Copies of this chain bind each other. A is one copy, B any other.
Amino acid sequence: MSTSATMQGQPLPNLPWEQRPAGCTEAVWRYSANPIVPRDAIPTSNSIFNSAAVPFEGRFAGVFRCDDRQRVSRLHAARSDDGFAWQVEPEPIQFTCDNPDMEPYVHGYDPRVCWIEDRYVVTWCNAFHRYPTIGVATTTDFKRFTQTENAFLPFNRNGVMFPRKIGGKYAMLSRPSDNGHTPFGDIFYSESPDLIHWGCHRHVMGTSRPWESTKIGAGPIPIETTEGWLLIYHGVLTSCNGFVYSMGAAILDRDKPWKVLHRCANYVLSPQRDYECVGDVPNVVFPCAALADAATGRIAVYYGGADTVVCLAFCQVDELIAYIKANPQ
């Protein structure tokens, strides 16, 4: 179960890592000490989950979703030396914005962080006129965050940047939605010359196998490989007791990422452990970020468990791509 696929990109020797447990044959395996961030890691938090981590100045930084005890979703900056243990800022991020015509930031959730060119771009589900759409901000130090124009009109969620320009333009995946617990959702691709105006929208992929039959949404920033963009995403099944979120994987074309080259028919991780099945929202595995080491092909995936805690899972890029190809749709 392996290919010769390799990553494009930088080595990340201090990537958090744990070997596959003896006897395990899964393409993706859990960290043995999950969850890595408990629900009450900061004094005001009800839960911490669905959070994004990136390499930063030799260590790690991130934007974390911390729901407070009003159950309002907040975005907090966080730091880590090793990618396992995180110090989450007790105060939410204060976005600055100098355009008075823009509606001021109120709150948001499910952040992603993408290094592109010379700064980190943060995207999240932003409350715009009380409606969900993709908020965008930039930072270089995880202290000052400058908010810019929302990428799209409402209603949208799960906006995920590509880590380089494609065809000379910025590129983003997103999932058009409705205003509630949206019961549908496909992944689309959009382009922008300036990170402000977006167009040339393309359909990427829709719902499919039962585990992803209700809706899907991009997860971590896509990882460029010799085979194409590795996209880890979430898929949702509706049981008679509500939504079940699992993790899936696909390979997109490097130049035209709206073309799906390979898509795994199976989920690669589904909610089975107590910290994924019991919590504020039972039965949720929700990936939001991945660290990748081009030197070894190792990937560490950060995912939310039960909308309550932050967890880690691991895989090898060649093995995961081999698994995707071995279980095609």
A residues near B (Cβ < 8 Å) are: 25, 39, 43, 46, 67-73, 101, 103, 128-129, 131, 133, 149-156, 174, 176, 178-179, 181, 184, 186, 188, 190-194, 196-203, 206, 209-211, 213, 237-244, 246, 256, 258, 265-267, 270, 272, 274, 277-283, 307, 327
Q: Given known contacts A153-B174, A188-B153, A278-B277, is B203 in contact with A128 (CB within 8 Å)?
A: yes
Q: Given known contacts A155-B155, A272-B39, is B71 in contact with A210 (CB within 8 Å)?
A: yes
The chain B residue sitting closest to A44, CB to CB, is B266
Kindly provide the distance from the CB of A213 to the nearest chain B CB, expressed in whole angstroms: 8
Contact partner, A240, options B190, B243, B270, Cβ 8 Å: B243
With a cutoff of 8 Å between Cβ atoms, the chain B residues found around residue A72 in the complex are 209-210
With a cutoff of 8 Å between Cβ atoms, the chain B residues found around residue A196 in the complex are 199-200
The chain B residue sitting closest to A266, CB to CB, is B69
| A265 in contact with B70 (CB, 8 Å) | yes
In angstroms, Cα B306 to Cα A277, docked, is 11
| A281 in contact with B241 (CB, 8 Å) | yes
Q: Given known contacts A193-B197, A237-B71, is B256 in contact with A101 (CB within 8 Å)?
A: yes
Count identical subunits in the complex. 6
In angstroms, Cα B268 to Cα A146, docked, is 34
The chain B residue sitting closest to A39, CB to CB, is B272
| A200 in contact with B71 (CB, 8 Å) | no
Kindly provide the distance from the CB of A123 to the nearest chain B CB, expressed in whole angstroms: 14
Kindly provide the distance from the CB of A88 to the nearest chain B CB, expressed in whole angstroms: 17
Contact partner, A71, options B71, B209, B281, Cβ 8 Å: B209
| B209 in contact with A150 (CB, 8 Å) | no
20 more CB-based (< 8 A) A-B contacts, given A179-B184, A198-B198: A46-B211, A70-B265, A71-B211, A72-B210, A103-B203, A129-B206, A133-B201, A153-B201, A155-B155, A181-B238, A181-B239, A192-B199, A194-B197, A196-B199, A239-B281, A240-B243, A241-B282, A277-B278, A278-B278, A282-B282
Top 7 nearest A-B pairs by Cβ distance?
A: A241-B242, A197-B197, A69-B266, A71-B210, A197-B199, A71-B211, A70-B209
In angstroms, Cα B152 to Cα A197, docked, is 10
The chain B residue sitting closest to A258, CB to CB, is B101
In angstroms, Cα B240 to Cα A68, docked, is 18
